[in-house]
């Protein structure tokens, strides 16, 4: 079984509130080591660099972004030392992968990440992934490690994503724990933590993202004894997001990982064809929005509803010229022979809202 485990900063914070909890890390590493010893593949997505750096230097809580990034750079080293030591006690090697949003938007770089993770699994090395906070700006930030963990789970087509948090799961408006997530159930409002970038909203979004492509997700309290082991063994802990229809890896990336570069607005006939599993042709395109190039991911929109994501065979400039025309007229308009399809059916994934869920 392939398992992605995400652990947040609040779980890694020690009792003094100014550094990482090495005992908690040791316990978590023991659980993961037991899983790998039993033939499972585990990828760890870990926050905690900022907490670690802050605890090491004990400086005043900085507001300046460069100082925050500096603390992350310092703390990431200490965090990896703690993981390396803890896993080393179980004779396990670890590796570090620091990524940004760009690494997931670019298909080639995304595949490089996936191939690296495959090789690490073959070596029996445990990957530890975090966002590269020292170089990430707003434009290239993933933003939170719940989202990052969901991208990793989709990229590796994991069997389960375990999102560890400091609460017992997702709660209904009346304060009761939701054992199996129901999107129609009103939720209890919960504030984000001081240290974490996400919160219950990002965990729900991440869990729904992976469940929509055939991966089970669980949001659970990471302080419950042996939580990771028990969840992996099928015990009902926290809030479960059951998997739905399995989607091919490439389509999962198109629909739930890659950031769209623009929009293609289509007519009713094109909408019907796409929902029937057919390709998008130029004749069905009404207009384009944004600046994109061949090979980019785009949103395909009917009126105000995004019905699909797809990889375009044409740039926004080219598509503006051939929108609404028959494929037989493409060469005459562009001056060269092009693709019959704007987006081939194999490179299209229908979004949940377009058909009421997968």
Other C-beta atoms closer than 10 Å to the C-beta of 21 total: 19
> How many whole angstroms separate alpha carbon 271 and alpha carbon 276?
9
> How many whole angstroms separate alpha carbon 116 and alpha carbon 96?
11
DSSP 192: P
Residues 239 and 138 in one domain: yes
Residues 119 and 45 in one domain: yes
Taking CA atoms, 105 is separated from 135, 187, 210, 269, in Å, by 16, 31, 17, 30
Residues 194 and 167 in one domain: yes
pLDDT of residue 190: 63
> How many whole angstroms separate alpha carbon 93 and alpha carbon 116?
15
Residues 180 and 264 in one domain: no
Q: Is the dihedral of CA 303, 308, 309, 311 positive or negative?
A: negative
Residues 120 and 199 in one domain: yes
Domain span holding position 326: 260-355
The number of folded domains in the chain is 2
> How many whole angstroms separate alpha carbon 271 and alpha carbon 350?
10
Residue from 94, 124, 99 nearest 114 by CA: 99
Q: Residue 232 maps to which CATH number?
A: 3.40.1160.10
Query: Of 252, 269, 290, which residue is a domain's last?
Result: 252
Query: Of 202, 227, 252, which residue is a domain's last?
Result: 252
User: What's CA 197's distance to the chain center, in Å?
Assistant: 14
Rounded to two decimals, the pTM is 0.81
Residues 289 and 242 in one domain: no
Residues 235 and 128 in one domain: yes
Q: Residue 268 maps to which CATH number?
A: 2.30.130.10
> How many whole angstroms separate alpha carbon 130 and alpha carbon 79?
11
Q: What are the helix (H) ranges across 128-216?
A: 145-156, 200-211
**Which pairs count as long-range contacts for 187-190, CB under 8 Å and 24+ apart, including other chains?**
none
CA angle 27, 30, 35 (to 5 degrees): 135
Query: Of 215, 235, 252, which residue is a domain's last?
Result: 252
Per-residue pLDDT of the chain (358 residues; tens, 9 = 90+): 999 999 988 899 888 777 889 999 999 999 999 999 999 999 999 988 888 887 777 776 666 778 778 888 888 999 999 999 999 999 999 999 999 888 888 888 888 898 999 999 999 999 999 988 666 555 445 778 999 999 999 988 899 999 999 899 999 888 899 999 988 888 887 655 544 455 788 999 999 999 988 899 999 999 999 999 999 999 999 999 998 877 777 788 888 888 899 999 999 999 999 999 999 999 999 999 999 999 899 999 999 899 999 999 999 999 999 999 998 999 999 988 788 999 999 899 888 555 544 3
Q: What are the helix (H) ranges across 277-325?
A: 316-322
Helix, strand or coil for residue 58?
A: coil
Residues 329 and 184 in one domain: no
pLDDT of residue 9: 87
Residues 42 and 182 in one domain: yes
Is 76 within 8 Å of 49 (Cβ atoms)? Answer: yes
Residues 146 and 284 in one domain: no
Residue from 353, 6, 67 nearest 183 by CA: 353
pLDDT of residue 66: 80
Taking CA atoms, 320 is separated from 19, 225, 308, 315, in Å, by 55, 58, 19, 9
Residues 158 and 293 in one domain: no
Other C-beta atoms closer than 10 Å to the C-beta of 261 total: 18
Residues 122 and 269 in one domain: no
């Amino acid at each position: 079984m392939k398992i992605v485990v995400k652990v947040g900063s609040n779980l890694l914070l020690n009792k003094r509130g100014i550094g990482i909890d090495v005992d908690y890390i040791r316990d978590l590493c023991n659980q993961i080591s037991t899983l790998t010893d039993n033939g499972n593949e585990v990828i760890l997505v870990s926050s905690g660099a900022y907490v670690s750096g802050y605890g090491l230097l004990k400086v005043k809580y900085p507001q300046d972004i460069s100082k925050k990034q500096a603390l992350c750079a310092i703390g990431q080293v200490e965090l990896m030392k703690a993981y390396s030591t803890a896993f080393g006690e179980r004779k396990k090697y670890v590796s570090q992968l620091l990524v940004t949003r760009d690494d997931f938007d670019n298909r080639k770089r995304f595949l490089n990440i996936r191939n690296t993770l495959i090789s690490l699994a073959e070596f029996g090395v445990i990957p530890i992934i975090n966002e590269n906070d020292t170089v990430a700006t707003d434009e290239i930030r993933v933003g939170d490690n719940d989202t990052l963990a969901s991208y990793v789970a989709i990229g590796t087509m994991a069997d389960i994503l375990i999102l560890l948090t400091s609460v017992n799961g997702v709660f209904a408006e009346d304060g009761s724990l939701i054992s199996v997530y129901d999107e129609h159930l009103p939720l209890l409002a919960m504030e984000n933590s001081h240290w974490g970038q996400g919160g219950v909203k990002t965990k729900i979004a991440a869990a729904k993202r992976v469940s929509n492509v055939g991966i089970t997700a669980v949001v659970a309290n990471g302080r419950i004894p042996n939580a990771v082991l028990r969840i992996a063994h099928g015990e009902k802990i926290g809030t479960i997001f059951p998997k739905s229809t399995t989607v091919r890896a490439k389509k999962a990336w198109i629909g739930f990982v890659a950031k769209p570069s623009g929009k293609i607005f289509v007519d009713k006939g094109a909408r019907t064809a796409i929902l029937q599993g057919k390709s998008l042709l130029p004749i069905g395109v009404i207009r384009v929005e944004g600046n994109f190039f061949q090979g980019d991911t785009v949103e395909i929109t009917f009126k105000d509803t995004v019905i699909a994501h797809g990889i375009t065979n044409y740039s926004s400039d080219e598509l503006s010229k051939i929108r609404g025309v028959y494929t037989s007229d493409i060469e005459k308009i562009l001056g060269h022979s092009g693709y019959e399809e704007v987006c081939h059916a194999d490179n299209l994934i229908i979004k949940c809202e377009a058909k009421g869920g997968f």
